[in-house]
Structures are given as C-alpha cells and as structure tokens.
Chains A and B, each alone.
Chain A
Amino acid sequence: MIRFLIGILALAGTLFAQGDAAKIAALEAAVAAAQSAGDNAWMLTSSALVLLMTGPALALFYSGLVRRKNVLGTMMQSFILMAIVTVLWAVVGYSLAFGEANAFIGDLRYAFLAGVDGAPNATYAATIPHQTFMVFQLMFAIITPGLICGAYAERMKFSGMVLFSALWLLFVYCPMAHMVWGNGGLLNAYLGGKIPSFDFAGGTVVHITSGVSALVTALYLKPRKGYGVEPMMPHSLVLSFIGACLLWVGWFGFNAGSALGSGSLATSAFVATHFGAAAATVGWLIAEKLRSGKASVLGGISGAVAGLVAITPASGFVKPMPALLIGFVAGIFCYYMVAVVKHKLGYDDSLDAFGVHGAGGTLGAIMTGVFATNAVNSALKDASGNPAALGLVDGNGGQIVNQAIGVAIAWLLAAVGTLVILKVCDLTVGLRASDEEERQGLDLSMHGEEGYSHEL
C-alpha cells in the first residue's frame, strides 16, 4: 500500500511538468487503479468467506444435526459440491448463468471461461477483474445445492446425490441466477429485465430455489426409516453451534460482497446482515420460550440462520432499523414453520432446509419490496436520471407485486425442475439408500468410514 502511494506521488511529480490534460488522464488512471485494487481485495476476501460458508460452516451445522452414523456422509455432501460445482461452473455453468442470450438462460459465450480474465466485465462489475466476479459467483453456486442436503439427509445415495446436484445446478440454479442477475435476465432490475425485482444477494436465487427444492425432495424421498418412531436427535449440537457461528461470519462475504465493491453500500449490507441475524435470534428464542418453555441453543443458532436468510435479498437495499424488523419477523416465522407447520404436514425435511431457507427467503424477498429505499442504494435511476423509488417506503408499492412475481417464478422453477431431475436420477443411478444402507448409516455404507471410532 505504501509503495503504491509513493508510486502515485512519483507519478504526479513527473507529470507536473507536462500538460494538464495528460496529467489529469494519468491521475484518473491512477485513481481507477486504486479503486480497483481496493474493490478487488474485498471481493477476493468475500469469495473466500462465501466458500467458508459451505466448508466447514454448512458441513458442521448439518452434520451436527444428524445421528452419529451419518456425520461423515453429511459432511461429504457439502464438501463434494465444492469440487463438482467448481468443475461444472468452469466448463459451462458460469456461462449459462451470466452469458447474455435471452431473458431466461445465458448462452455459451463464456463456456470454458473463454474471455473471463483479468479485465473487468463492465456490465457486471466495472472495477474488479471479470475472473474475480466469476469466482465470487461460483461460491454462491456451491452453497446453494448444499443447502438442499438438509432435506435428504441420512437417506440419499452418494451417487444419486452427486448426479442430482450436478443437474440441479445446470437446470435450476443457472437459469434462476441468469433471470435475476444475468444481463437481460427477466427479473434483473438493473440490466434490462421486464419485471424488475430486487434480490441483492440471493433470496430468490439461493434460498427460495434451494428451500423449495428441499421441500420437493423431502416429499419425493419420503421420511427416513423410523421417522416419528425412533428418536432422531442431533448427535452433536457442538458441531452445529460452531457451524452456525461460521455461517454468520461467512455471510458478511455473501451479502456485503454482493455490493461487488468495497464502498459504503458494502458497509450498509454488512450492517443490515448483522442486524438481521441478531434480531432473528431474539425472535426465534422468544417464540420458542413461549411455546416450549426453554430458550435452546439449537433455537438460537437456527434463528440466526433464519435471519441471515431473510435479510439476504434486502441487505443492500434497507436501512438498519428495517433490517432489525425483517430479522425479528423471520425468526418467529421460521420457528413456526419448523416447529409447527412441518409436524402438521408430516414431511421429513430432516434439517429444515425448507422451513428456514424456503420460508425465510420468501419472507425476505417480499419484505424487500416494502423496505427497499434509494437512500441506501441509489444505483437505479428513473427516466430523468434521479434515483428511482425502490420499495413501498419510497412510495413504490407496486414493487411488492414484482417481488411476488420473482418469488413465484423461483418457486415454480425450483419445484418443477427439481421434480423432473429427481425422476431422472431415480430412474438412472437411483436416489435413496437401501434400507440396509440407511440403517447402517451413510458413513459406513457410502464411504466405508466412521466418524467416531469406538476403540479409541
């Protein structure tokens, strides 16, 4: 940094003698380089933080909630996605999401990452290398199918899980990411979408798609053997606690990183994210205390995650007080979904991927339409070049309808796409572990290992 400043000073010094125009041009270039360096530093940090959300955070969070015979199998479900999604993303996934063909899916212009290099792609992020943007988006693509693991935990074949996740990435995630964030995407408020919808960091793209797909998967697979009869308690809330705290930290990269730069918008998203998580923790614990008499550790960490989910679409659009409100409501709402609605309906969404991500994501997407304000995010301009009214608080109540359309499209694509993909996987490699494998546990039956040795 010091060397860089000395460089600028030296440059300014040598230019002093030259003409003003050349001097200004050189200074502008130096300023742009400085901004790019600052933005890129934050975006690479954010990319690493978002990867940390999958491994170890999600892997710990989920694997603590299963029985001990499935601890490694559950960790592996997160970890394998860090590998296969990365490969798919490099070959074709990034292009399908961020290529520019039509409103629904990208073309193949970036297949094999052709042309994705150190120069910025000004359409998406003008101050960071295109490659940084690509790898940041990759980390989102990794965690999204990972969230679905919560619904099929303890009973999915490894081969079926791998094929399902690969197809799901290409045919559900990539189209949804393109519609919301891709150039010309149907819902993209900034790049020519016909139905402008606000989703700052993935309420629809990440949480609704994964949450709704989780519900469909849980219904399709049927409950675990012995569900509702045998006790299926979390085998280590210690692991889950560590995982949830790491998720909270990683989420700063997820949401504040979605500013695609290191300016004040990133700060605002960072603050909203933190406030949302905190208020949701309080909300969930109050609801739980009132209903079952005790404020539990699992309740606290589940509430935090629910708040992080709900604030995700809103994080770059709302002020701190609405962020507190969104989080608080999400904590209570998701508790109700998980503790009451799930048992009434009887589906075995084992680790509550739908109750937290599907429900929290939907709530957050709608509330974004209420509280989004150009006082926080003035990037969108109206016809006369002034900051456009964003949500209801700016006087644009119609935005709630657009948000609802975005939610509906995400639900529909996730539900139909997931059902078709499940059927395809079921008819080819098979989805569900055999009764014997399930009884034995995925650690031994799928991977030939045990998480905890009896002898040692």
Chain B
Amino acid sequence: MKKIEAIIQPFKLEEVKEALKAIGVDGMTVTEVRGHGRQKGHKEVYRGQEYMVDLLPKMKLEMVIPAARLDEVIKAVVGAARTGKIGDGKIFVYDVVDAIRIRNEDRGEATL
C-alpha cells in the first residue's frame, strides 16, 4: 500500500477529485492548509501597515491506495492539478505498513 500526500492549489480541488473519481479512487481526506515553497507571497496593507503574507492557502489531499495503482493515481492528480505555474504544489509518496477498518477490523488492502 502507498500513501499519497498531494498539496495542490485550492481552486484545483474539484478537478482533482473528478479525475480520481474517473479512475475509481473514492477515499480521501482533504485539509485546508497554509504553506509555501518557491512561490512568493503577497503584500497586504492595513492602514499603512504592510504585512508580507508568505504562507498561502493550499489544499492537502491524503489517500492510501494499492501499490499497483500508484502511477495511475499520480498521473491523474498531476494531470488535473497542473497549471504550469509556480505554486502548483507537490506530491509525496510513502510506504504504508498496515491499514485497519475501525468498523470491523478488516486489515490491509481489503480496507481500501
């Protein structure tokens, strides 16, 4: 099993979800996060006081998938989330040791 953690532009969430649904991946956890990589922030001014806002809003998608489907899923996420500009985000892939369905204690890929 592999865990995919994709940090994407907030406005790309729907397209990514659609792309994953199209290849039959339904389970995911989405979190609103803030962060930055190479993308520069922006300036905000309140009554003459300037603030550099360098932590920008992003969406973090987490999903665990059978290892055999990894390339296919990455391709779907990249295809849907890419605009070609700085700030499109990143995908991290981890090995998953086990998974347990809380309802009935199923284990392993059967839970996915």
Taking Cβ atoms with an 8 Å cutoff, the residues of A that contact B are 231, 233-234, 288, 291-292, 294, 296, 298-299, 302, 335, 338-340, 342-343, 352
Contact = CB atoms under 8 A, between A and B. Distances in A.
Contact of B46 (A233, A291, A335, A342): A233
B51 A298 contact: no
Interface string B45-72: 1111111010000000000000000000
The 3 closest A-B pairs by CB, nearest first: A339-B48, A292-B45, A231-B51
Contacts of A234: 46
Interface residues of B, number: 9
B48 A343 contact: yes
Max count, chain A CB within 10 A of own CB: residue among B45, B48, B50: B48
B95 interface: no
10 contacts: A288-B48, A292-B45, A296-B45, A296-B46, A298-B46, A299-B47, A335-B48, A338-B47, A338-B48, A339-B47
A233 B48 contact: no
A296 B51 CA distance: 14
B32 to A, nearest CB: 12
Nearest to A228: B49
Contacts of B49: 339, 343
Contacts of B51: 231, 233
Given A233-B44, A234-B46, A339-B49, 19 more contacts: A231-B51, A231-B53, A233-B46, A233-B51, A288-B48, A291-B48, A292-B48, A294-B45, A298-B46, A298-B47, A338-B47, A338-B48, A339-B47, A339-B48, A340-B48, A342-B48, A343-B48, A343-B49, A352-B47
B45 to A, nearest CB: 5
Nearest to B55: A231
Contacts of A233: 44, 46, 51
A299 B44 CA distance: 13
A231 B51 CA distance: 7
A279 to B, nearest CB: 19
Contacts of B53: 231
A343 B47 CA distance: 11
Contacts of B50: 292
Contacts of A302: 47
Nearest to A336: B48
Nearest to B48: A339
